[in-house]
Amino acid sequence: MTEHTLTVAGVAVDTRHWIGGERVASAETFTDVSPIDGSVLGEISRGTAAEADLAVAAAKAAFPAWAATSRAERARILHAVADGVEKRIEDLAIVETTDNGALLRSHRRGVMPRVAHNFRFFADWLLKLDHEDFETRGHTNHVSWDPAGPSVLITPWNAPLMLSTWKVAPALAAGNTVVRKPAEWTPLTASLLADIAAEAGLPAGVLNIVQGYGSEIGDALTSHPDVRRISFTGSVPTAQRITQSAAANLTPLSLELGGKSPLLVFADADLDLAVDLAVEQYDNAGQVCLAATRVLVEETVAEEFTRRFAEKAAAVVQGDPRDEATDIGPNIHERQLEKIDGFVRRAVEAGARAVVGGHRGEGRYYAPTLLTDVAQDSEIVQEEVFGPVLTLQTFTTEDEAVQLANDTRFGLAATLATGDRDRAARVTQRLVAGTVWVNCFFVRDLQAPFGGSRHSGVGREGGTWSFDFYCDLKNTVTAPKGWKDHG
């Protein structure tokens, strides 16, 4: 091991940036801490504007050759990256669990295999990306997707590698070069991905990884005049700063932001299914932007729903995420834990009642919580908590349910539990949300558009929508005459 390497459960991770195909150290570092037990994992190179400039320059230099690389060759390399991910699923799983506290069993069985799938999906989609030519008064129109250029991708800490590859994979497939900045609380699997990509044959400078704080390196990246695309997943306040930073260069943005999604439970629903869906919102300690944290239940079944929910929630096992028996791990950071606890304390002081939980546990664990007696205009109902905290409100009519569901500034997702197909059709049509699940939750196909309405985001990811963002779409119109015969 070297001074720039740390070890997590036997897995070596380089703590330096990855720029232009080389490891680059910074003069300063920041400390990476595991949320599981508060142990220090290591010191990570802390980038500044200097590293931002270096990474963008590397991406700019590598762009012409990568953009000119054939679709087939780009797809081949992305499949090789997926092969590399699959070979290192165990390494990636244990490192990410240690770094962000999510369940090891989920990383092994679902998340890391999905990372590989993300690369394969966009590699394959690239090869079939096409728009049929069409005629205009005898002229031929041909639509093409041209690589846009260096892209800055700023990714979150709640599912660091998987969420980042929803961006990295289509950006690379499109022919763009990438500068990725992982969240400073979870930098480690980004470094491992750089190793995997290099081993897969991705040319130097096509993928660059820079680490650090948003205020020190993020602003330099998002305001850089050589950046052609910016994609960000995170909070609304950070997105507002990024938008201002990118405005001077009119850099196109894709923003996947917060949510305050509703779960509507009608009296005709399968109540056991509805309870299961509600308890599922505690997944990843509630650190899921899509989580349906506002449970809206028809008044006639609210008492029975609450009783069953409390029984089901009591069986949820909270503990070390490396333990197979654990259902919920820790929250990411002491700062986040204090934020969650503050939301709950203020809600209780305002008259809310904690039917389940409502308090901190030991370390960085917060008890799964359900609050009732909350007002629609209260902070706990209107603002994203990003922790294992749900609210429960009742409604008496379909119109009231829809009104409550839509009455926030967000519009990321919604979940609906009903046994009536006609009602499902009526209600889903009226909900303001980028994704609506009916009698299910978190089923996502990369062919589908993903994103939010209102303050939940700008743009859509997935399938052709991703390529529409990462490319400059061009229409070429060709006349039927004017050609010389060179026979």
Q: Which two tokens stand for residue 271?
A: 């109540």
Q: Is 394 left (phi over 0), alpha (psi -120 to 50) or beta?
A: beta
Pairing between β-strand 151-154 and β-strand 229-233 as defined by DSSP bridges: parallel
Three-state DSSP class for residue 400: helix
pLDDT of residue 3: 86
Catalytic annotation present for 398: no
Catalytic annotation present for 334: no
Mean pLDDT value across residues 416-432:
98
Tens digits of residue pLDDT in 99-123: 999 999 999 999 999 999 999 999 9
pLDDT of residue 188: 98
Asked whether residue 187 falls in the same domain as residue 310, the answer is: no
> Residue 331 sits in a domain of what CATH number?
3.40.309.10
Q: Is 224 left (phi over 0), alpha (psi -120 to 50) or beta?
A: beta
Asked whether residue 374 falls in the same domain as residue 418, the answer is: yes
> Residue 148 sits in a domain of what CATH number?
3.40.605.10
- Residue written as token pair 């910074």: 26
Backbone angles phi, psi at 113, to 5 degrees: -60, -35
- Residue written as token pair 């979870």: 186
Mean pLDDT of the chain: 96
**372 contacts: CB under 8 Å, gap ≥ 6:** 306, 352, 353, 355, 391, 392, 393
Tens digits of residue pLDDT in 294-307: 999 999 999 999 99
Question: Would residue 313 count as lying in a domain?
Answer: yes
Greater confidence (2 vs 81) lies with: 81
- What is the rounded distance in angstroms from the CA atom of residue 398 to the CA atom of residue 334? 40
Asked whether residue 198 falls in the same domain as residue 336, the answer is: no
150, 176 contact by CB (below 8 A):
yes
Among 461, 391, 474, 401, smallest CA distance to 431 is for: 401
Mean pLDDT value across residues 343-361:
97
Backbone angles phi, psi at 356, to 5 degrees: -135, 135
Residue 32, amino acid: D
Strand partners, 140: 135, 478
Question: Would residue 480 count as lying in a domain?
Answer: no
- What is the rounded distance in angstroms from the CA atom of residue 426 to the CA atom of residue 412? 19
- What is the rounded distance in angstroms from the CA atom of residue 29 to the CA atom of residue 211? 9
Asked whether residue 103 falls in the same domain as residue 123, the answer is: yes
Asked whether residue 270 falls in the same domain as residue 284, the answer is: yes
Backbone angles phi, psi at 180, to 5 degrees: -105, 130
If residue 114 lies in a helix (H) or strand (E), which one and from where to where?
A: helix 112-128
pLDDT of residue 29: 97
Question: Would residue 446 count as lying in a domain?
Answer: no
410, 382 contact by CB (below 8 A):
no
The conformation of residue 57, written as its DSSP 8-state character, comes to H
Q: Indicate the residue among 394, 416, 438 that finishes a domain.
A: 438
Geometric angle at alpha carbon 234, from 229 and 235, rounded to 5°: 120
Q: How many domains does the chain have?
A: 2
Strand partners, 142: 476
- What is the rounded distance in angstroms from the CA atom of residue 285 to the CA atom of residue 340? 11
CA–centroid distance for 370 within its chain: 25
Question: Would residue 479 count as lying in a domain?
Answer: no
Asked whether residue 411 falls in the same domain as residue 340, the answer is: yes
Asked whether residue 293 falls in the same domain as residue 186, the answer is: no
Query: Which of the following is catalytic: 256, 298, 384, 461?
Result: 256
Could you give the percent of the chain with pLDDT greater than 90?
Answer: 97
- What is the rounded distance in angstroms from the CA atom of residue 235 to the CA atom of residue 101? 20
Work out the pLDDT band at 482, boundaries 50, 70, 90: confident
Query: Which of the following is catalytic: 184, 216, 289, 471?
Result: 289
Q: Which two tokens stand for residue 475?
A: 């229409």
- Residue written as token pair 């990383």: 107
Tens digits of residue pLDDT in 284-332: 999 999 999 999 999 999 999 999 999 999 999 999 999 999 999 999 9
Among 335, 323, 385, 324, smallest CA distance to 364 is for: 335
pLDDT of residue 487: 55
Mean pLDDT value across residues 346-373:
96
What global pTM score does this model have?
A: 0.96
pLDDT of residue 55: 98
**33 contacts: CB under 8 Å, gap ≥ 6:** 39, 40, 41, 333
pLDDT of residue 31: 97
Question: Would residue 483 count as lying in a domain?
Answer: no
Backbone angles phi, psi at 53, to 5 degrees: -60, -40
Q: Quote the domain boundaries for residue 22.
A: 5-257+452-473
Whether 1 shows a pLDDT value over 70: the answer reads no
pLDDT of residue 305: 98
Asked whether residue 398 falls in the same domain as residue 467, the answer is: no
416, 395 contact by CB (below 8 A):
no
Asked whether residue 253 falls in the same domain as residue 278, the answer is: no
Whether 388 shows a pLDDT value over 70: the answer reads yes
**3 contacts: CB under 8 Å, gap ≥ 6:** none
